[in-house]
Structure 1
Amino acid sequence: MIPEENEISEETPIPNEDEISINYVQDSTMWNRNETHVDDVFAYAIATDVINENDYIPKTLEECMHRKDWPRWEEAIKAELNSLEKRHVFGHVVRTPINVKPVGYKWVYTIKRNENNEIVRYKARLVAQGFCQIPGVDYVETYSPVVDAITLRFLISLTISEGL
Structure 2
Amino acid sequence: MVARSKYVIFKQKVFSAIVTNATAEPKTAKEAIKNSQWLHAMQSEFSALQKNDTWSLVPPTADHILVGNKWLFKVKKNTNGSVNRFKAKLVARGYTQIPRIDFYSTYSPVIKSSTIRVVLSIAASFNWGVRQLDINNAFLHGELTETVYMPQPEGFVDVDRASYVCKLNKAIYGLRQSPRTWFDRLKAILIQWNFQNSKADTSLFVYQGQSLVYVLIYVDDILITGNSNTLI
TM range (shorter): 0.5 to 0.7
Unaligned runs of 5+ in 1: 1-50
Structure possessing the higher relative contact order (Cα contacts under 8 Å, 6 or more residues apart):
2
Secondary structure of 1:85's counterpart equals: helix
1:115 paired to 2:79: yes
Moved over 6 A (4+): 151-154
Structure 2 length as normaliser, TM-score? 0.39
Q: Does 1:132 align with 2:96?
A: yes
2:32 corresponds to which of 64, 68, 74: 64
Query: What is the aligned-residue RMSD (CA, Å)?
Result: 3.1
- SS of residue paired to 2:49: helix
Distance 1:78 1:65, change over 3 A: closer
Give, as a single letter, the amino acid of the residue that structure 1 aligns with 2:98. Answer: I
Do the aligned partners of residues 159 and 89 (structure 1) sit closer, same or farther apart at CA in structure 2, a change above 3 Å counting? farther
Name structure 2 gaps, 5 residues minimum.
1-18, 106-176, 196-204, 212-232
Identity of aligned residues (%): 26
Matching residue within 73, 83, 87 for 2:48: 83
Contact 1:96 1:102 in 2 (8 A): no
Query: Aligned equivalents of 2:66 and 2:79: distance in 1?
Result: 41
Secondary structure, counterpart of 1:83 in structure 2: helix
Match of 2:23? 55
Structure with greater Cα Rg: 1
1:129-148 C-alpha deviation (Å, 9 max, x unpaired): 12101212433344424259
TM-score (norm 1): 0.53
Q: Cα deviation per residue 1:94-128 (whole Å; 9 max; x = unaligned)?
A: 22331332111101110000011111100001111
More helix by share: 1
Distance in 1 of aligned mates of 2:209 and 2:55: 36
Q: Which residue of 2 aligns with 1:34?
A: none
